[in-house]
């Protein structure tokens, strides 16, 4: 749909083409489109700003501003006392068409690095997560105190905002490093000085950075036999050799790892909430891993993704707090506790490694967004993060209970569920005969957004099932989704 002005030649873009734009950019883009596709010919005269304002029911000021911008960009000429004309000499970029989107040729693919080839093939399809049954990795954003966040942001811009526009320290804004150290001590029992905290754009960035700092080509790296594919991709950044180590109900099997690769440079674990199985690493295993790492000289990377969402009375003590030999690098993210697009995460670095991490970071992306760091520091210091998390833990716990209850009622425990003491997702195991990947594809066609567990364990083929996210779904959506899932699984069962 388009509103016409000056005849049918010249229309104001509406509908999806203009969604999300201000009125001024809507006018700018409408005129530009008409110029570029030739409806407004070079040298032709535009309707007057007054006419456009009347026909489009947009203020005269807005029209003037948009036309001025088009003039500054070289698309229009304003002749005093005469009118506004399309330039005879349009900017040279105007006639150039960008290359059409098409798949890469074989020759182009051959130029990709081996690392990129692996990344391409381990990429999860389906785009970014959506709050639908049962996409994993999505917090319930409707409860986030957006008004408060907006107020804190405005205040930061107003007082000292200019100081936050320049280059930030590579380790992070001191206020946020301090707030993070305090927050971690209270919520996770992590003991560290603010000087050990590096603020990152994402947890995965931390994994990539540490693989640059600590790994050489062909170094062995233990990873849990099933894990988040992007972590594997980031760990292999420096050409390291990933060694999947078996897991049992106590977590990573340290003895089995020693047999598979006795001298790894690094071990990546998710002890609080194993991703995706949900297992929590027993205290005995955590101590055995630390003791062995200390003897062998391996670094331990403790990935605490979703570790701050624990629904049981007892929190498990992080490896970082049990570590007496400074072997543990602790990583966490604000993605779920605050919101995903914030892109803020943190790494607690053992003191002897701080200088090298800072030096390497300063030569890569250098630092993280200044204002966002400052606002988050204020959010934590004002006690808002802990109260938001308290609230969300209770909401997620109740959503988890609803999902487990509904699956129990509909599928009668025929398909074992993984431990669900925390996190925002639960693993549902399927018999081998019901292969999870094709089943999930059929599920998508039936409107169920399902992720196969096998994707997390590409080399082992040990896991077969569904990874169900529940945190972003209302109780009603969970009940309806679980019933739909149960009907779908039963139909799949009959197909066998
Ligand atoms: C184990 C693990 N680490 C890290 C991440 C991603 O964290 P971020 O959003 O900060 O990159 C994920 C996401 O699912 C994950 O499963």
pLDDT tens-digit series, residues 22-34 = 889 989 998 998 8
Closest by alpha carbon to 349, among 358, 338, 360?
A: 358
Sign of CA dihedral 285, 286, 287, 288: positive
Last residue of a domain, one of 338, 357, 382: 382
β-bridge pairing 451-452 and 425-429: unpaired
Provide, rounded to the nearest whole percent, the portion of the chain with pLDDT above 90: 79
User: Is residue 232 domain-resident?
Assistant: yes
Q: How far is CA 196 from CA 174, 364, 370, in A?
A: 11, 19, 19
Query: 181 with 278, same domain?
Result: yes
User: Is residue 365 domain-resident?
Assistant: yes
| Probe residue for ligand 1, chosen from 206, 275, 339 as the CB with the greatest number of ligand atoms within 8 Å | 275
| pLDDT band per the 50, 70, 90 thresholds, residue 120 | confident
Last residue of a domain, one of 73, 94, 115: 94
> For residue 203, how far is its CA from the centre of ligand 1 (angstroms)?
6
Query: 52 with 191, same domain?
Result: no
Query: 332 with 232, same domain?
Result: yes
β-bridge pairing 220-224 and 266-269: parallel
CA-CA distance, 23 to 18, in Å (whole number)?
A: 9
Does 5 score more than 60 pLDDT?
Answer: no
333 lines ligand 1 (CB under 6 A): yes
Q: Is the peptide bond before 4 cis (omega within 30 degrees of 0)?
A: no
357 lines ligand 1 (CB under 6 A): no
Query: 81 with 157, same domain?
Result: no
301 lines ligand 1 (CB under 6 A): no
User: Is residue 129 domain-resident?
Assistant: no
Query: 371 with 419, same domain?
Result: no
Q: Is the peptide bond before 276 cis (omega within 30 degrees of 0)?
A: yes
pLDDT tens, residue by residue, 249-303: 999 999 999 999 999 999 999 999 999 999 999 999 999 999 999 999 999 999 9
Closest by alpha carbon to 34, among 71, 53, 9, 56?
A: 9
Count of domains for the chain: 3
276 lines ligand 1 (CB under 6 A): no
| Probe residue for ligand 1, chosen from 232, 333, 425 as the CB with the greatest number of ligand atoms within 8 Å | 333
* Helix 174-188, helix 384-411: angle, nearest 10: 50
Closest by alpha carbon to 265, among 327, 219, 223, 232?
A: 219
CA-CA distance, 179 to 440, in Å (whole number)?
A: 42
Query: 417 with 347, same domain?
Result: no
Overall residue count recorded for the chain in this entry: 496
Given the CA of residue 200, which atom of ligand 1 is nearest to it?
10
Query: 427 with 376, same domain?
Result: no
β-bridge pairing 220-224 and 241-245: parallel
CA-CA distance, 491 to 163, in Å (whole number)?
A: 61
Give mean pLDDT, residues 61-83. Answer: 93
Last residue of a domain, one of 361, 382, 403: 382
Place of tokens 């798949």: 103
User: Is residue 181 domain-resident?
Assistant: yes
Give mean pLDDT, residues 99-119. Answer: 90
The residues with which 469 forms a beta bridge, in sequence order, are: 425
Residue 333 three-state SS: strand
- The CA angle 287-182-334, to the nearest 5 degrees, is 85
- The CA angle 152-155-159, to the nearest 5 degrees, is 140
CA-CA distance, 383 to 387, in Å (whole number)?
A: 6
Does 233 score more than 80 pLDDT?
Answer: yes
Give mean pLDDT, residues 184-192. Answer: 96
pLDDT of res. 2 = 45
CA-CA distance, 348 to 246, in Å (whole number)?
A: 27
pLDDT of res. 194 = 98
- The CA angle 310-315-318, to the nearest 5 degrees, is 110
Torsions phi, psi for 221 (to 5 deg): -130, 120
pLDDT of res. 97 = 82
Give mean pLDDT, residues 245-249. Answer: 94
Q: Taking all residues of the chain, what is their mean pLDDT, rounded to a whole number?
A: 92
Structure tokens at 350: 């053992």
End-to-end CA distance of the chain: 50
CA-CA distance, 275 to 281, in Å (whole number)?
A: 12
Name every residue whose Cβ is closer than 8 Å to that of residue 133 and which is 6 or more positions away in sequence.
448, 449, 473, 477, 478, 480, 481, 482, 484, 485
Contact 168, 367 (CB under 8 A): yes
Q: How far is CA 35 from CA 9, 51, 94, in A?
A: 10, 18, 9
Given the CA of residue 343, which atom of ligand 1 is nearest to it?
10
Residue 483 three-state SS: helix
pLDDT of res. 343 = 98
Exposure on the CB side of residue 267, measured as CA atoms within 13 A: 32
Q: What DSSP element (H or E) covers 293?
A: helix 283-296
Query: 234 with 254, same domain?
Result: yes
Highest mean pLDDT range out of 222-236, 385-399, 458-472? 385-399
Count the neighbouring beta carbons within 10 Å of the beta carbon of residue 235: 22
Contact 28, 35 (CB under 8 A): no
Query: 368 with 432, same domain?
Result: no
pLDDT of res. 74 = 95
274 lines ligand 1 (CB under 6 A): no
Closest by alpha carbon to 202, among 340, 405, 22?
A: 340
Count the neighbouring beta carbons within 10 Å of the beta carbon of residue 287: 13
Name every residue whose Cβ is closer than 8 Å to that of residue 478 and which is 6 or more positions away in sequence.
133, 399, 402, 403, 406, 470
CA-CA distance, 128 to 107, in Å (whole number)?
A: 29
Structure tokens at 48: 């007057």
Given the CA of residue 137, which atom of ligand 1 is nearest to it?
14
Query: 368 with 486, same domain?
Result: no
User: Is residue 109 domain-resident?
Assistant: no
CATH number at residue 484: 3.90.1150.10
Closest by alpha carbon to 63, among 72, 52, 74, 47?
A: 52
Range of the domain at 228: 144-382
Query: 368 with 397, same domain?
Result: no
Given the CA of residue 340, which atom of ligand 1 is nearest to it?
9
pLDDT of res. 423 = 94
pLDDT of res. 131 = 83
User: Is residue 130 domain-resident?
Assistant: no
Q: What DSSP element (H or E) covers 11?
A: strand 10-13
What is the DSSP code string of 208-255? Answer: HHHHHHH--TT-EEEEESS--HHHHHHHGGG-PEEEEE-EETTEE-HH
> For residue 332, how far is its CA from the centre of ligand 1 (angstroms)?
8
DSSP E strands in 82-146: the ranges are 83-86
Query: 289 with 356, same domain?
Result: yes
Place of tokens 């040729």: 105
User: Is residue 291 domain-resident?
Assistant: yes
């Amino acid at each position: 749909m388009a509103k016409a002005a000056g005849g049918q030649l010249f229309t104001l873009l509406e509908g999806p083409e203009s969604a999300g734009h201000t009125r001024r950019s809507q006018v700018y883009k409408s005129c530009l489109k008409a110029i570029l596709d030739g409806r407004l010919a070079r040298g032709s005269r535009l309707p007057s700003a007054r006419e456009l304002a009347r026909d489009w029911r947009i203020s005269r000021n807005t029209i003037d501003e948009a036309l001025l911008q088009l003039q500054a960009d070289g698309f229009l000429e304003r002749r005093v006392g005469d009118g506004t004309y399309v330039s005879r000499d349009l900017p040279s970029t105007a006639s150039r068409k960008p290359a059409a989107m098409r798949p890469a040729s074989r020759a182009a693919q051959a130029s990709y690095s081996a690392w990129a080839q692996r990344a391409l093939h381990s990429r999860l399809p389906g785009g970014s997560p959506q709050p639908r049954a049962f996409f994993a990795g999505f917090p319930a954003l409707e409860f986030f105190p957006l008004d408060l966040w907006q107020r804190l942001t405005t205040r930061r811009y107003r007082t000292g905002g200019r100081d936050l526009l320049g280059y930030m320290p590579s380790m992070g804004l001191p206020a946020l490093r301090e707030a993070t150290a305090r927050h971690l001590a209270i919520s996770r029992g992590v003991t560290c000085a603010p000087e050990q905290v590096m603020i990152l754009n994402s947890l995965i960035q931390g994994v990539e950075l540490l693989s640059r700092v600590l790994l050489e080509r062909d170094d062995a790296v233990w990873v849990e036999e099933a894990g988040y594919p992007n972590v594997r991709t980031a760990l292999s950044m420096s050409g390291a050799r990933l060694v999947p180590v078996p897991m049992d109900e106590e977590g990573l099997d340290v003895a089995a790892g020693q047999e598979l690769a006795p001298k790894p440079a690094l071990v990546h674990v998710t002890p609080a909430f194993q991703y995706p199985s949900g297992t929590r690493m027993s205290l005995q295993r955590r101590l055995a891993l630390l003791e062995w790492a200390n003897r062998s000289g391996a670094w331990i990377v403790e990935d605490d993704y979703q570790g701050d969402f624990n629904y049981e009375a007892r929190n498990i003590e992080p490896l970082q707090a049990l570590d007496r030999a400074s072997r543990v690098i602790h990583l966490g993210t604000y993605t779920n506790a605050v919101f995903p697009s914030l892109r803020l995460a943190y790494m607690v670095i053992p003191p002897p490694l701080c200088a090298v991490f800072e030096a390497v970071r300063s030569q890569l992306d250098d630092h993280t967004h200044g204002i966002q760091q400052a606002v988050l520091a204020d959010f934590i210091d004002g006690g808002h993060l802990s109260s938001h998390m308290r609230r969300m833990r209770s909401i997620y716990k109740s959503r988890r209970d609803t999902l487990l209850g509904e699956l129990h009622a509909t599928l009668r425990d025929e398909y074992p569920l993984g431990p669900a003491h925390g996190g925002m997702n639960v693993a549902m195991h399927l018999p081998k005969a019901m292969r999870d990947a094709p089943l999930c594809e059929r599920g998508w066609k039936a409107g169920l957004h399902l992720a196969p567990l096998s994707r997390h364990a590409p080399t082992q083929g040990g896991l077969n099932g569904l990874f169900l996210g529940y945190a972003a779904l209302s109780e009603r959506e969970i009940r309806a989704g679980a019933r739909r899932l149960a009907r779908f699984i039963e139909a799949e069962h009959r197909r066998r």
